[in-house]
Amino acid sequence: MSAMSRPGVIVETFQQLRKHVPSIVKAVNAEPSLALAAAVNPLFAIEELGYKIPASLSRTVEHRIRFSVEQADRLERLSAEIYREFHQQFDIESETELSRVLHQELKLGSHQQLPTKLLRQPQIKWAQHQEEPLEPFQHTHSAMKLILQYRQIEASEPRLSSRELYDQVRNGAIKVPAKAITFHLKRDRTLK
């Protein structure tokens, strides 16, 4: 692993990160094992190159990688509405945090039993269809419809890989059936 590391470039906004994209792509393409690992999770590759992305920005960057600009913007708006409904911010995509909020704020689980598994698998073309585990609760609170909309969009694209899988690909323990990776940047018409 010899990625050209930058000494802790702190990126605080999505626009700042976009300015670094040409140098990130150049560094990733210069090292084939990094390029293959970046294909399974670009955020870890960016981090490995020395860019520091705060947790508050990480989800936005992940959504811009996985989704169209319109979908990413919709997820951001839905998040804001959900946070307003619950008067707090939490990780909507975390099974643990979502369960906590549903139990504490909506008292779900005391009268109606929440499913033990809240995580919804990506509903991509080749995956087996999975019913939404929270569907039976859609009328229990106005925020539930927002959560269901959020989860439908979030499950529409494959998720980024875990740190463990990224490291295995990066170290060559898992072979990726590709010889080269081509990066394509989605154009955000609202940013110059």
pLDDT tens series, the chain, 192 aa = 445 555 688 899 989 999 999 999 999 989 989 999 999 999 999 999 999 999 889 999 999 999 999 999 999 999 999 999 999 999 999 989 998 998 888 776 555 666 667 777 676 666 667 788 899 888 888 899 999 999 999 999 989 999 999 999 999 998 877 665 655 555 555 544
Structural domain span for residue 97: 92-154
Token pair belonging to 16? 């700042």
- Three-state SS string across 64-105, please? HHHCCHHHHHHHHHHHHHHHHHHCCCCCCCCHHHHHHHHHHH
The answer to the question of residue 117 being in a domain is yes
Predicted pLDDT at 108: 67
Same domain, 149 and 165: no
Task: Domain count for the chain, please give it.
Answer: 2
Using an 8 Å Cβ cutoff, are 9 and 154 in contact?
no
Q: Are residues 177 and 148 in the same domain?
A: no
**What pLDDT is stored for residue 129 in this prediction?**
75
Would 73 be classed as within a structural domain?
no
Q: Do 97 and 118 share a domain, yes or no?
A: yes
CA-based nearest residue to 112, from 133, 91, 96: 133
Do 18 and 58 share a domain, yes or no? Answer: yes
Neighbours of 28 (CB within 10 A): 24
Q: Are residues 166 and 147 in the same domain?
A: no
149 and 179 in a common domain: no
The predicted structure's pLDDT at residue 1: 46
Q: What is the model's pLDDT at position 124?
A: 64
User: Residue 59 domain-assigned?
Assistant: yes
List the end-to-end C-alpha distance of the chain, in Å, as a whole number.
34
Q: What's residue 3's pLDDT?
A: 52
- Strand-pair partners of 52: 10
